[in-house]
Amino acid sequence: MAELHAQTLTELAAGLRAGKFSSVELTRHFLERISKYDAELNAFITVTSELALAQAADADARIAAGTASALTGLPLAHKDIFCTDGVLTTCGSKMLSNFVSPYDATVVTRLKQAGMVMLGKTNMDEFAMGSSNETSFYGAVKNPWNLAKVPGGSSGGSAAAVAARIAPAATGTDTGGSIRQPAALTSLTGIKPTYGRVSRYGMIAFASSLDQGGVMCLSAEDAALLLQSMSGFDVQDSTSVDTPVPDYSATLNQSLKGLKIGLVKEFFEQGLSNENAKPVREALAVYEQLGARLVEVSLPNLPLSVPTYYVVAPAECSSNLSRFDGVRFGYRCDNPRDLQDLYTRSRGEGFGSEVKRRIMTGTYVLSAGYYDAYYLRAQKIRRLITEEFANAFKQVDVLMGPTSPTTAFDIGAKVDDPVTMYLNDIYTIGANLAGLPAMSIPCGFLDGLPVGLQIIGGHFAEAKLLNVAHGYQQVTDWHKRMPERYA
């Protein structure tokens, strides 16, 4: 069944309904590919083979009984930041390397109820802190397009798994670009919905006002299917928004004639080379051919999004990660002398260097002498950025630009220079600060490496984003390309 992994989630769903193959056969096919390729990719932390086959058998029974949903029987992988009942949930950290969750995250529950099959848990930057998937306690993930390159982060394991076709889709989380940037670097469709659209319950927190769950898959059509089941109000999440979820698949084929696309002036000025800009501009020309109109938009405070983010996010991480103390769960140091020693050594030994860097930065900006100078000022700038986006959407339907300033870089190239690493998120952070939905779609290649186009919408405009992405994917085939090695 070599052809199965080349199909989109939507195509696999149609094949299951038509009886061309069973969920067990499909699941076994992907488990065999994981067994064959993951040793070189390092995309998975945990592979749940027995559980997957049992869930697949249940899915086949549902299909036979006529009680299946659109997603029943389809395999996927979960980023290892989502709690999974009875399965190791590590966040890519030594701190949680022995933590078996006693419950499921809401995202996991909803996809399980839809009948999806969990292949396993994917590798990630430790506690989602990173842009290259090199901070993981379990080692760096490799980019399937070039094994010497990073896949992006923090959802790099999910990106590599789907790009190499060892999983047809995967969940991810996006705090400052952690779905969109790896999607761009591995030629995938990745969407971060509006803050509050997808429940954060059971999604281990990094920065609570920024984190949002989403998906990585091959097409906008696949993303619409997955997001449909994941979205919606959750009483267990105080940041969940109680607003109706539209039928994302129903509006995919709406005409793009008359669509107003805002080109963010600052996106094309900040660190973007002419070579990297070329595929993005070619994609914009395709939209013009589809009837869209391009309008230049300026967001003057947007360049301040990186320094703003690296005050707000570490402050929230400092608070959230204080719970990992070696007492209740997770890593505990050996033979502590007293309680102080237990706290100090458990945290010192359990966290990696990037996590420690952000905890210390966050604690500093929240301290009495610096709170007003840093944290309060950052929140004021965040408000200005949010207002600029709101004003832009009074003029245009969506905003577009590059997802990442560069294609995938060499593993090890930026690990010793945190500031350069942080600048990888220069185009993606703004949407998180404003709580906006945003996605990345493949739009070409540069020297054999993928380039992504970013699309940003107004609050709860996921249906519009998916429609705009789908229109482009109907007349291009970048999203269908796969690395030759894994074909």
- Catalytic entry in 22, 178, 249, 346: 178
Catalytic (active site) residue 154: yes
Q: Dump the DSSP string for 321-371.
A: GGG-SSSSSS---SS-SSHHHHHHHHHHHHS-HHHHHHHHHHHHHHSTTTI
Tokens of 285: 């020309």
Residues 6+ apart with CB under 8 A from 321: 127, 351, 355, 359
Contact indicator for 396, 261 with CB cutoff of 8 Å: yes
Q: Tokens 């992988």 correspond to what residue?
A: 77
- Catalytic entry in 154, 158, 187, 219: 154
Q: What whole-number distance in Å separates Cα of residue 159 and Cα of residue 188?
A: 7
Catalytic (active site) residue 199: no
Measured in degrees and rounded to the nearest 5, phi and psi for residue 304 equal -85, 0
Burial class of residue 303, CB neighbours in 10 A (0-12, 13-18, 19+) = middle
Tokens of 237: 């999440």
Tokens of 244: 């109706």
* SS3 per residue for 30-41: HHHHHHHHHHHH
- For residue 91, the 8-state DSSP code is T
Q: What whole-number distance in Å separates Cα of residue 315 and Cα of residue 261?
A: 35
Among residues 197, 151, 205, 129, the alpha carbon closest in space to that of 40 is found at 151
SS3 173: strand
Measured in degrees and rounded to the nearest 5, phi and psi for residue 401 equal 175, -170
- Catalytic entry in 22, 79, 187, 199: 79
Q: What whole-number distance in Å separates Cα of residue 26 and Cα of residue 272?
A: 41
Active site residues per annotation: 79, 154, 178
